[in-house]
């Protein structure tokens, strides 16, 4: 295992078992907030999307957003949870300026969803990770700490636009056994919520956040060790790195005869270390009590069943189907299901083209490469499945070569034009006329006596220089198979 930071250098983890449980917060994709009508979209001038309810002004009353409830239940269903027929909201009391009421409306002893699981694959091994609970709560405001870090910040600015956005908290059992496994779990969880259509899960915009609980114990020990909770990771990579550091730190403390203190620790991405912040509040410190301003949530089996039926196909099922229906290898199915939009794009194209593997190669290859290079999302570019198919048809018909197609695709990607129009305008049609190519072949032979000589002496590779010359002359448009055949005809077998 690669270890970050000094503390972890030289620590031998082989005698120890790592135990990890995650608490993940996911913002739900509703148009309005969970207990008021304010808009939820990201951005906007600070403190412009607020009202008496989400600012917690005295006398204001919350009303539950039906869509938020539906999405929370669908999150639970997508994670194989049992949905509670009766649940309620509770007040979680704590004083922190991002929470103007001095309590957060959350759920305590009767959460909406419980006892679920998510299956992942880690290094070829199937693992089932238990989901303890999924509950609905309100998002807090955003604190903007001045200075370089929260630890030494001189003052804090507050933006309440985010306060009251519906949030689900997903809590896992302490079933994860390595930092890598935690990262893989998060990647799959992200896909599940995105496929379920309940969140856009953009970690960089903070719509998915993760706190990680971690402890270590000697291998063979069945009791859990004392855990720490690590916060402030901004990417799945960071979660893995923070946990690698923290596991090694804990082992180093224990092996030198020390004790782990139960505490919250802050991940410092730049320094690659975790630092203690404050000792973890015990649950009773929050003085949870039932929220008197909201009625309990009562769900009929029919309602739950209806929402279950509405759930779209989830990533695991989709991967299976892509392999079965289109004959794709597992690797392709995995890549194509990294987002629902990408899977939809592939399928829409594959339905219009006879060679699904070729579609998959182009989507995984050129399309993803350009998206990554431009830092764009699929819905921000002009290439549609139908336009990709248009390009593939030109390759299949022999109108353009594979190399030319890549060039054409880049232009399609940038301009949104049809492949055929670009090929026509730039005169990129492949030259497949035998007479034209034969003449170019003769010219290449005449101009490269050395290559011809060594080919005739048996060095078959020397023919490459001749092919290259023809391709250069035609700016890559000569049909390569034809060039090869005509060259061989003209030169005869090597050694003759």
Which residues lie near ligand ADP (CB under 6 A)? 19-23, 171-174, 213-215, 224-225, 227, 280, 283
- The residue among 33 and 183 lying less far from ligand ADP, judged by its C-beta, is 183
- The residue among 138 and 169 lying less far from Zn ion, judged by its C-beta, is 138
Q: Which of 1, 11, 51, 311 binds Zn ion (CB under 5 A)?
A: 51
Separation of alpha carbons 228 and 21, rounded Å: 10
Residue nearest to ligand ADP (CB): 21
User: Which of 18-49 are b and which e, b meaning 16 or more Cβ less than 10 Å from the residue's Cβ?
Assistant: bbbbbbbbbbbbbebbbbbebebeeeeeeeeb
34 binds Zn ion (CB under 5 A): no
- The residue among 192 and 359 lying less far from ligand ADP, judged by its C-beta, is 192
Greatest CA separation found in the chain? Answer: 99
Q: Answer with the entry of ligand ADP, Zn ion, none that 78 interacts with (C-beta below 5 to 8 A by kind).
A: none
Q: Please report how close the Cβ of residue 88 comes to Zn ion at its closest, in angstroms.
A: 22
Q: Per CB under 5 A, which region of 28-36, 296-304, 354-362, 415-423 contacts Zn ion?
A: 28-36
Separation of alpha carbons 248 and 6, rounded Å: 10
Q: Answer with the entry of Zn ion, ligand ADP, none that 80 interacts with (C-beta below 5 to 8 A by kind).
A: none
Of 236, 250, 198, which is closest to residue 13 (Cα–Cα)?
250
Q: Answer with the entry of Zn ion, ligand ADP, none that 174 interacts with (C-beta below 5 to 8 A by kind).
A: ligand ADP
38 binds Zn ion (CB under 5 A): yes
Per-residue binding string, Zn ion, 197-226, x by CB under 5 A, is ------------------------------
105 binds Zn ion (CB under 5 A): no
- What is the β-pairing status of strands 289-290 and 113-122? unpaired
Q: Tell me the site size for Zn ion, rule CB under 5 A.
A: 5
> Which residues are within 8 A (CB) of 443 and not within 5 positions of it... i.e. 6 or more apart?
469, 473
- The residue among 22 and 395 lying less far from ligand ADP, judged by its C-beta, is 22
DSSP track, 157-174: EEETTSTT-EEEEEEE-S
Separation of alpha carbons 358 and 363, rounded Å: 9
- The residue among 243 and 419 lying less far from ligand ADP, judged by its C-beta, is 243
DSSP letter (8 states) at residue 433: -
Q: Please report how close the Cβ of residue 216 comes to ligand ADP at its closest, in angstroms.
A: 8
Q: Please report how close the Cβ of residue 248 comes to ligand ADP at its closest, in angstroms.
A: 15
Q: Please report how close the Cβ of residue 98 comes to ligand ADP at its closest, in angstroms.
A: 19
Q: Please report how close the Cβ of residue 48 comes to Zn ion at its closest, in angstroms.
A: 11
Q: Answer with the entry of ligand ADP, Zn ion, none that 240 interacts with (C-beta below 5 to 8 A by kind).
A: none
Separation of alpha carbons 412 and 432, rounded Å: 24
Q: Please report how close the Cβ of residue 253 comes to ligand ADP at its closest, in angstroms.
A: 15
Q: Answer with the entry of ligand ADP, Zn ion, none that 38 interacts with (C-beta below 5 to 8 A by kind).
A: Zn ion
- The residue among 120 and 350 lying less far from ligand ADP, judged by its C-beta, is 120
Q: Please report how close the Cβ of residue 215 comes to ligand ADP at its closest, in angstroms.
A: 3
Separation of alpha carbons 113 and 107, rounded Å: 11
DSSP letter (8 states) at residue 366: I
165 binds Zn ion (CB under 5 A): no
Q: Please report how close the Cβ of residue 202 comes to ligand ADP at its closest, in angstroms.
A: 23
Q: Answer with the entry of ligand ADP, Zn ion, none that 383 interacts with (C-beta below 5 to 8 A by kind).
A: none
Q: Answer with the entry of ligand ADP, Zn ion, none that 227 interacts with (C-beta below 5 to 8 A by kind).
A: ligand ADP
Which whole-number Å values give the CA distances from 238 to 120, 202, 276, in the listed order? 20, 15, 17
- The residue among 20 and 54 lying less far from Zn ion, judged by its C-beta, is 54
36 binds Zn ion (CB under 5 A): yes
Helix (H, G, I), strand (E, B) or coil at 383: coil
Of 288, 311, 287, which is closest to residue 83 (Cα–Cα)?
311
Edge-to-edge, what's the strand order for the sheet holding 103-106? 103-106, 90-93, 289-290
How many C-beta atoms lie closer than 10 Å to residue 320's C-beta?
Answer: 14
Per-residue binding string, Zn ion, 119-138, x by CB under 5 A, is --------------------
Q: Please report how close the Cβ of residue 171 comes to ligand ADP at its closest, in angstroms.
A: 5
DSSP track, 299-362: --HHHHHHHHHHPPPPHHHHHHHHHHHH---HHHHHHHTSSHHHHHHHHHHHTTSS-HHHHHHH
Q: Which of 7, 54, 189, 242 binds Zn ion (CB under 5 A)?
A: 54
How many C-beta atoms lie closer than 10 Å to residue 318's C-beta?
Answer: 20
Kindly list the residues in this chain that would bind Zn ion in the complex (CB under 5 A): 36, 38, 51, 53-54
């Amino acid at each position: 295992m690669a270890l970050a930071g000094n503390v972890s250098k030289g620590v031998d983890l082989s005698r120890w078992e790592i135990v990890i449980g995650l608490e993940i917060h996911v913002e739900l994709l509703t148009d309005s907030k969970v207990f008021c009508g304010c808009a939820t979209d990201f951005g906007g001038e600070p403190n412009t999307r607020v009202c008496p309810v989400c600012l917690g002004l005295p006398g204001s009353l919350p009303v539950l957003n039906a869509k938020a409830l539906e999405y929370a239940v669908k999150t639970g269903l997508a994670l194989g949870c049992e949905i509670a027929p009766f649940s309620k909201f509770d007040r979680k009391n704590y004083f922190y300026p991002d929470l103007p009421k001095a309590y957060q409306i959350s759920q305590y002893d009767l959460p909406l969803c419980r006892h679920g699981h998510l299956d992942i694959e880690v290094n070829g091994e199937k693992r089932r990770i238990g989901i303890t609970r999924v509950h609905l709560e309100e998002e807090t405001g955003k604190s903007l700490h001045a200075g370089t870090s929260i630890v030494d910040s001189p003052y804090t600015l507050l933006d309440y636009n985010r306060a009251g956005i519906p949030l689900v908290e997903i809590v896992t059992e302490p079933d994860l056994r390595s930092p890598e496994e935690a990262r893989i779990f998060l990647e799959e969880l992200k896909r599940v919520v995105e496929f379920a259509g309940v969140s856009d899960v953009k970690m960089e915009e903070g719509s998915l956040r993760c706190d990680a609980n971690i402890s270590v114990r000697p291998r063979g020990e069945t009791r859990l060790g004392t855990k720490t909770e690590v916060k402030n990771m901004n990417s799945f990579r960071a979660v893995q790195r923070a946990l690698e550091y923290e596991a090694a730190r804990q082992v180093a403390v224990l092996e030198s005869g020390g004790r782990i203190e139960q505490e919250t620790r802050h991940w410092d991405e730049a320094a690659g270390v975790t630092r203690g912040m404050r000792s973890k509040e015990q649950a009773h410190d929050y003085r949870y009590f039932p929220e008197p301003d909201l009625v309990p949530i009562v769900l009929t089996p029919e309602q739950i069943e209806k929402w279950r039926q509405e759930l779209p196909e989830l990533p695991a099922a989709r991967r299976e189907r892509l392999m079965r229906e289109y004959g794709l290898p597992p690797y392709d199915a995995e890549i194509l299901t990294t987002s629902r939009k990408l899977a939809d794009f592939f399928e829409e194209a594959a339905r219009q083209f006879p060679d699904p593997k070729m579609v998959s190669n182009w989507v995984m290859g050129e399309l993803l490469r350009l998206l990554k290079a431009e830092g764009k999302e699929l819905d921000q570019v002009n290439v549609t499945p139908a336009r990709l198919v248009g390009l593939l048809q030109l390759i299949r018909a022999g109108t353009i070569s594979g190399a030319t197609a890549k060039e054409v695709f880049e232009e399609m990607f940038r301009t949104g034009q049809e492949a055929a129009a670009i090929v026509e305008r730039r005169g990129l049609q492949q030259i497949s006329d035998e007479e034209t190519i034969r003449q170019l072949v003769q010219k290449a032979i005449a101009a490269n006596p050395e290559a011809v000589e060594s080919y005739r002496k048996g060095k078959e590779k020397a023919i490459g220089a001749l092919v290259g010359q023809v391709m250069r002359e035609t700016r890559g448009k000569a049909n390569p198979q034809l060039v090869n055949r005509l060259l061989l005809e003209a030169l005869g077998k090597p050694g003759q």
